[in-house]
Amino acid sequence: MVYKISKEMDTFINENLGEIVKYEKVTGIKEMGGCFRVTLSHNESLIVKGDPSCLESIFYREIAPNLREKGVNIPHLIHTSFEESLNHYWTIMECVPYSLPRDRWFADQDIINTLVNLHNATWQRTFEIPGSYKPVWHEKMNAKIVSMLDNVNESRDLELQLNKLMQDSSELFLPYCNINGDTNPTNWGIRENNEIVLFDWERFSNGSPAIDLAISIPGIGSLDNQLELEIATKYLASWRKLDTHLFPYSEKELVHEINKAKIWVTIEFISNQVDGFNSEVVTWFLEKLPLKIKAMTK
């Protein structure tokens, strides 16, 4: 487990980029690997991110330059390296100074434009990284969620509903375009010049645009579909402006796909919480899930 920047990284930065004044672990990191903000003596900051699987390093080296050209702002890559003794990759990148303010967490136009640019630029000609994350929905995930509920009748109902939604979800996972796969509001930053930047590309993959739109919505989304409709309307307006590929869904159909994707990603999130079974966040999602399904199917 890597909790620190390694000696090798430390030496590389000091010799090539500037004298390190301090480094701090940044929030939102997983137990394995790590992400650090490094401050240099000339007051510049860098992000150093550990990457056990090497997938994100490949993304930054080989794919990001193509996407930047198409209007997807991604942190500038400064250096990647493989550290043999740790069997671990490191990515050094631009530190985006500001996080996304909360008043921009809902249907933000710049977020929607960025996602349109990403999806449109890769429409039916996706980049692939062998061994990368693949979004899937299988019955075991539903069964795990249902096993977490106390009420037997409720859980039987929910399992039937989830299995039906799952059977009806194949379009979510068709390789329409590349997706970031983790567009939640904590993965966006703002540059000094106000540009919005998407970091965290570990789940870069392919699928329906609805997946990225659903994940960009905080929590479970709205129960009256207003937020999803606003997002779908803005997304389609921005897509049409590019005047390239026809989009396969109407506003209403896109809202439906976004809702399905939201339920899938919620199931995926909960079923991945091995130790978080009793955590407040999981309990909150378990309470909201049946309400979301009801709102969606009425």
Ligand X SMILES: Nc1ncnc2c1ncn2[C@@H]1O[C@H](COP(=O)(O)OP(=O)(O)O)[C@@H](O)[C@H]1O
- How many residues are recorded in the chain? 298
148 interface partner picked from ligand X, Mg ion, none, CB below 5 to 8 A per type: none
The residues, ordered by sequence, that sit 6+ positions from 174 with a Cβ below 8 Å of its Cβ are 207, 208
The interface with Mg ion within residues 219-248 (CB under 5 A) comprises none
Cβ closer to ligand X: 29 or 282?
29
Given 51, 200, 212, 228, the residue binding Mg ion (CB under 5 A): 200
The residue number whose beta carbon is nearest to Mg ion equals: 200
Reduced DSSP (H G I as helix, E B as strand, rest coil) percent helix, strand, coil of the chain, to 5: 50, 15, 35
Interatomic CA distance for residues 77 and 221, integer angstroms: 33
Cβ closer to ligand X: 30 or 138?
30
93 interface partner picked from ligand X, Mg ion, none, CB below 5 to 8 A per type: ligand X
Q: How far is the CB of 49 from ligand X (least distance, A)?
A: 6
In 3D space, the residue among 148, 163, 157, 165 whose CA is nearest the CA of residue 285 turns out to be 148
Three-class SS state of 269: helix
CA distances from 272 to 151, 217, 266 (A): 22, 19, 10
Cβ closer to ligand X: 64 or 214?
64
Interatomic CA distance for residues 241 and 235, integer angstroms: 10
Q: Give the binding range for Mg ion (CB under 5 A) out of 121-129, 185-193, 206-214, 265-273.
A: 185-193
- The answer to whether the CB of 61 falls within 8 A of the CB of 93 is no
- The answer to whether the CB of 135 falls within 8 A of the CB of 211 is yes
Given 73, 113, 122, 187, the residue binding Mg ion (CB under 5 A): 187
The residues with which 40 forms a beta bridge, in sequence order, are 20
- The answer to whether the CB of 2 falls within 8 A of the CB of 53 is no
Q: How far is the CB of 95 from Mg ion (least distance, A)?
A: 14
Give the amino acid at 141: M
Q: How far is the CB of 111 from Mg ion (least distance, A)?
A: 15
The interface with ligand X within residues 81-110 (CB under 6 A) comprises 93-96
Packing angle of the helix pair 139-147, 251-271 (nearest 10 deg): 60
Q: Give the binding range for ligand X (CB under 6 A) out of 101-109, 117-125, 167-175, 182-190.
A: 182-190
Given 199, 247, 249, 285, the residue binding ligand X (CB under 6 A): 199
Q: How far is the CB of 194 from Mg ion (least distance, A)?
A: 21
Q: How far is the CB of 197 from ligand X (least distance, A)?
A: 7
Given 39, 155, 186, 225, the residue binding ligand X (CB under 6 A): 186
- The answer to whether the CB of 132 falls within 8 A of the CB of 204 is yes
The interface with Mg ion within residues 37-66 (CB under 5 A) comprises none
Site string (20-59) toward ligand X, x via CB under 6 A:
------xxxxx----x-----------x-x----------
How many residues touch ligand X under the rule CB under 6 A: the total is 19
Interatomic CA distance for residues 76 and 58, integer angstroms: 14
- The answer to whether the CB of 286 falls within 8 A of the CB of 145 is yes
The interface with ligand X within residues 237-296 (CB under 6 A) comprises none
Residues at the interface with ligand X (CB under 6 A)? 26-30, 35, 47, 49, 75, 93-96, 186-187, 189, 199-200, 202
Residues at the interface with Mg ion (CB under 5 A)? 187, 200
